[in-house]
């Protein structure tokens, strides 16, 4: 356990989490897309199925309550519904996104180390941790944090273990990419 805390990936992730946790817990950052994900999750918890009852743009003749799968991929709303069913609220959901973003920083570090060495990995991890884009896009209750973490995990598995001939790395990477597609189809 002691050697774990000597790992730069742990320090970079911890630093990133400190940066992301404060805004995640203080201000719920809602956008029309975030409201739709939350609406689907709440309807799942209420037993209404995968229904969407919020439309950012409503035109006459279209139903407001409709199948959520026609507009939103299922993995993130299911994750949020699970958190809601545990009694957690929107700040906690943003904190989960902050944890996923911090874990993504560790994966960026790991990829940098594997491909270009420890110094480059540390710089890449630090740049990822301090990127304003990470804070703005990865903390709100949206799919980005989950999809990017899954995609980076798949990439890391292939880079780290795939070139060593481990076929299980490709199976796990494929599963991670499949889940990433279910979180955000345009990211996988």
pLDDT digits (tens, 9 = 90+) for 72-86: 999 999 999 999 999
Sign of CA dihedral 111, 117, 122, 124: negative
Count CB neighbours of 59 within 10 A: 6
Is pLDDT of 130 > 50? yes
Which pair of structure tokens corresponds to residue 105? 């920083």
Q: Enter the DSSP assignment of 105.
A: H
Is pLDDT of 4 > 60? no
pTM: 0.91
Count CB neighbours of 145 within 10 A: 28
Provide mean pLDDT across the span 179-184.
98
pLDDT in tens, 80-124: 999 999 999 999 999 999 999 999 999 999 999 999 999 999 999
Please tell me the distance from the alpha carbon of residue 174 to that of residue 178, in angstroms, as a whole number.
6
Please tell me the distance from the alpha carbon of residue 155 to that of residue 105, in angstroms, as a whole number.
13
């Amino acid at each position: 356990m002691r050697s774990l805390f000597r790992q730069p990936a742990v320090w970079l992730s911890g630093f990133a989490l400190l940066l992301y946790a404060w805004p995640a817990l203080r201000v719920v950052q809602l956008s029309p897309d975030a409201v739709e994900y939350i609406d689907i999750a709440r309807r799942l918890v209420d037993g209404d199925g995968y229904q969407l009852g919020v439309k950012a743009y409503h035109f006459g003749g279209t139903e407001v309550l409709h199948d959520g799968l026609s507009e939103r991929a299922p993995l993130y709303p299911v994750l949020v519904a699970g958190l809601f069913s545990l009694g957690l609220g929107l700040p906690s959901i943003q904190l989960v996104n902050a944890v996923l973003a911090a874990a993504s920083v560790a994966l960026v570090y790991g990829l940098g180390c594997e491909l270009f060495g420890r110094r480059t990995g540390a710089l890449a991890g630090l740049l990822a941790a301090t990127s304003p884009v990470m804070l703005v896009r990865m903390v709100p209750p949206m799919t980005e944090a989950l999809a990017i973490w899954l995609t980076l995990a798949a990439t890391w598995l292939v880079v780290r273990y795939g070139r060593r001939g481990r076929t299980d790395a490709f199976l796990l990477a494929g599963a991670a990419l499949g889940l990433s597609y279910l979180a955000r189809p345009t990211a996988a």
